[in-house]
């Protein structure tokens, strides 16, 4: 427990060691620590940004998908409408054609029936003349009674 000059030597050593530490130990370590803290901060910021970007991209993708689905639906409904229209047109055409055909057939039938009637009238007139000839048992001048016969024909 004696005091001696060791005390002052120790005092000097204290300042030398402290000065050495201040000059050669403390700055590089603090620099490394600060740099690493900066790096970590940058990394965290980058990660945050990546997360935001990802969320953004996902949102965009969903939007695109929704748009695509919408336009597909639109195309489909357009096509269906067009098809329906085509069918409708075809049906109209068919109706028209059928109507025309029926009309033509009716006209044809009417004219045929007319012709048949004419022929029948002719025949009936001849039969009437022949009948009258047989009934009168006398000669009738066809030419003289043509007007009468024609009148008869039209009356049939």
Q: Phi-psi region for residue 139, left (φ > 0), alpha (ψ -120 to 50) or beta?
A: beta
Which of 2, 154 has the CB closer to other proteins?
2
Which of 16, 104 has the CB closer to other proteins?
16
Which of 27, 131 has the CB closer to other proteins?
27
Tally of CB atoms within 10 A around 20: 11
Instruction: Please say whether the beta carbons of 136 and 145 come within 8 A.
Output: no
Binding mask 21-60 for other proteins (x = CB under 8 A): xx-xxxxxxxxxx-xx-xx---------------------
Separation CA 7–CA 9 (nearest Å): 6
Question: How far separated are the first and last CA of the chain, in Å rounded?
Answer: 171
Which of 14, 75 has the CB closer to other proteins?
14
Span near other proteins by CB under 8 A; candidates 9-17, 79-87, 88-96, 141-149: 9-17
Minimum separation from the CB atom of position 22 to other proteins (A): 4
Q: List the one residue from 15, 137, 143, 147 that touches other proteins (CB under 8 A).
A: 15
Count of residues that interact with other proteins, criterion CB under 8 A = 33
Please give the torsion angle defined by the CA atoms of residues 56, 57, 62 and 63, in that order, rounded to the nearest 10 degrees. Answer: 70
Among 156, 130, 154, 151, CA closest to 142: 130
Separation CA 76–CA 80 (nearest Å): 6
Which of 32, 110 has the CB closer to other proteins?
32
**What does the binding site for other proteins look like in residue numbers (CB under 8 A)?**
1-11, 13-15, 17-18, 20-22, 24-33, 35-36, 38-39
């Amino acid at each position: 427990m004696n005091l001696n000059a060791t005390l002052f030597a120790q005092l000097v050593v204290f300042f030398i060691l402290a000065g050495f530490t201040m000059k050669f130990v403390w700055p590089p370590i603090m620099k490394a620590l600060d740099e690493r803290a900066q790096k970590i901060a940058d990394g965290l910021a980058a990660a945050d940004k990546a997360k935001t970007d990802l969320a953004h991209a996902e949102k965009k993708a969903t939007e695109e998908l929704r748009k695509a689905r919408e336009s597909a639906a639109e195309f489909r409904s357009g096509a269906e409408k067009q098809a329906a229209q085509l069918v409708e047109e075809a049906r109209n055409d068919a109706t028209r054609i059928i109507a025309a055909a029926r009309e033509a057939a009716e006209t044809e039938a009417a004219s045929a029936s007319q012709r048949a009637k004419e022929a029948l009238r002719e025949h009936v007139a001849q039969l009437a003349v022949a009948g009258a000839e047989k009934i009168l048992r006398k000669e009738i001048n066809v030419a003289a009674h043509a007007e009468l016969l024609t009148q008869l024909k039209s009356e049939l």
